[in-house]
């Protein structure tokens, strides 16, 4: 099902608002997710410069060079100064199975408006997983999947899904008794209220919504839902949205990748374990060696390099 584009056509005119070229290229472009879902960028506010502008407002200095902007954004993300990232916003239109929506909505730091099954008739679209993602229950994770099942058995499972979806929708249509215009299909039967009739539909039926949040909370959402421990279906939506965010806020996204998404944080017990393991071994490095290694990885920011030295010193790795 393609997203409906119920928008008023306005004449083209120049705008005084901030424009992100990376966001502009994704506006209104649906990206298919799962078998019948989609997600696309509806609107946005701000860009990387808006993040820097908010951070520098305390002493009245706006955007300077790109390098200085990048350095500040990375500092903010590295030290968890999150409020400047709330100055950027993104609004998506997404269509997903109800089971995915119930996980998604747990992220309460967003504004959303969902398709109403009390007001409208639910479309006859339900999610059927492909054979390769049908797995057994994990033995070490109560809410996760384990090994994939045999392809032959996967076909049997898919058949159950399909038959259940078809039967459920037939029951739903019987209850609402609506020809799509509000008139009964069978005048001899009552039209059960839509808010009651919808209860026969399983959670694999599709719903959709408009979902708007700021960049900080979007990062939090993506950090959790792109993780390998997240359910496979919602990861597909998170991975898709990540591509859009990367283009819309490239400097902020890179900082998020480096310091959160792909970072490894050490707790105090883990730091002590690491220090105990290297104690007495020839693993101490000079500051010059660390600086050289940092440069070879592309790390050139003086402030960040100094923080690397401080961390190595804290762990006892510097001569």
- Collapse the DSSP code of 34 into the 3-class scheme (helix H, G, I; strand E, B; otherwise coil) and give the result: coil
User: Is 93 known to sit in a ligand binding site?
Assistant: no
118 is in an annotated binding site: yes
- Helix residue ranges per DSSP H, 90-228: 98-104, 151-176, 194-197, 215-225
Does the annotation place 57 within a ligand binding site? no
Q: Is 215 annotated as a binding residue?
A: yes
Is 229 assigned a ligand-binding role in the annotation?
A: no
Question: Does 235 count as an annotated binding residue?
Answer: no
Percentage helix, strand, coil, to 5, in the chain? 45, 15, 40
Q: Is 145 labelled as part of a ligand binding site? A: no
Concatenating the DSSP letter of every residue in 64-81 gives: --HHHHHHHHHHHHHTT-
DSSP-assigned states of every residue in the chain: -PPP------------S---HHHHTTBT--EEETTTEEEEEEEEE--HHHHHHHHHGGGT-----HHHHHHHHHHHHHTT--GGGGG-EEEEEEEEEHHHHHHHTT--SSEEEE--TTTSPPPS-B----GGG-EEEPSS-TTSEEEEPPHHHHHHHHHHHHHHHHHHHHHHHHHH---SSSS-SSTTS----HHHHGGGS-TTBEEEEEEEEEHHHHHHHHHHHSSTTS-HHHHHHHHHHHHHHHHHSHHHHHHHIIIIIS-----HHHHHHHHHHHTTSS--B-HHHHHHHHHHTT---HHHHHHHHHHHHHTT-B-
Check the annotation: does 40 bind a ligand: no
Catalytic residue, candidates 5, 17, 225, 235: 225
Is 106 one of the annotated binding-site residues? yes
Pull the structure tokens for residue 199.
Answer: 């209860």
Q: Annotation-wise, does 13 bind a ligand? A: no
Q: Is 281 annotated as a binding residue?
A: no
- Ligand-binding annotation for 139, yes or no, is no
The structure tokens listed for 183 are 């008139």
Whether 248 contacts 214, CB under 8 Å: no
User: Is 119 annotated as contributing to ligand binding?
Assistant: no
Give catalytic status of residue 235 as yes or no: no
232 labelled binding-site residue? no
104 marked as binding residue: yes
The annotation status of 103 as a binding-site residue, yes or no, is: yes
List the catalytic residues.
225
Binding-site residues from annotation for dUMP:
103-106, 114-118, 198, 225
Binding-site residues from annotation for FAD:
83, 106-108, 114, 214-216, 220
Binding-site residues from annotation:
83, 103-108, 114-118, 198, 214-216, 220, 225
């Amino acid at each position: 099902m393609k997203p409906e584009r119920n928008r008023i056509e306005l004449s083209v005119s120049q705008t005084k608002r901030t424009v992100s070229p990376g966001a502009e290229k994704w506006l209104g472009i649906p990206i298919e997710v799962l078998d019948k879902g989609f997600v696309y960028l509806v609107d946005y506010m701000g860009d990387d410069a808006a993040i820097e502008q908010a951070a520098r407002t305390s002493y009245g200095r706006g955007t300077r060079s790109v390098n200085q902007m990048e350095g500040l954004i990375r500092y903010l993300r590295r030290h968890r100064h999150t409020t400047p990232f709330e100055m950027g916003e993104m609004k998506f239109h997404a269509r997903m199975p109800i089971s995915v929506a119930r996980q998604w909505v747990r992220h309460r730091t967003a504004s959303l408006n969902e398709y109403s099954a009390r007001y409208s008739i639910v479309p006859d679209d339900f999610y059927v997983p492909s054979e390769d993602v049908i797995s057994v229950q994990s033995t070490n994770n109560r809410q996760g999947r384990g090994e994939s099942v045999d392809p032959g058995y996967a076909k049997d499972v898919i058949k159950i899904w399909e038959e259940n979806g078809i039967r459920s929708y037939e029951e739903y249509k019987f209850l609402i008794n609506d020809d799509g215009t509000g008139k009964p299909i069978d005048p001899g039967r009552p039209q059960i209220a839509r808010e009651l009739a919808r209860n026969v539909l399983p959670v694999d039926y599709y719903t959709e919504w408009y979902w708007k949040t700021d960049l900080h909370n979007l990062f939090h959402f993506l950090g959790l839902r792109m993780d390998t421990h997240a359910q496979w279906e919602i990861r597909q939506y998170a991975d898709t949205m990540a591509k859009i965010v990367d283009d819309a806020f490239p400097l902020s996204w890179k900082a998020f990748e480096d310091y959160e998404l792909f970072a490894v944080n050490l707790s105090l017990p883990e730091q002590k374990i690491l220090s105990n393991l290297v104690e007495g071994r020839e693993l101490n490095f000079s500051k010059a060696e660390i600086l050289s290694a940092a440069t070879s990885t592309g790390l050139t920011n003086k402030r960040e390099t100094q923080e690397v030295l401080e961390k190595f010193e804290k762990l006892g790795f510097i001569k």
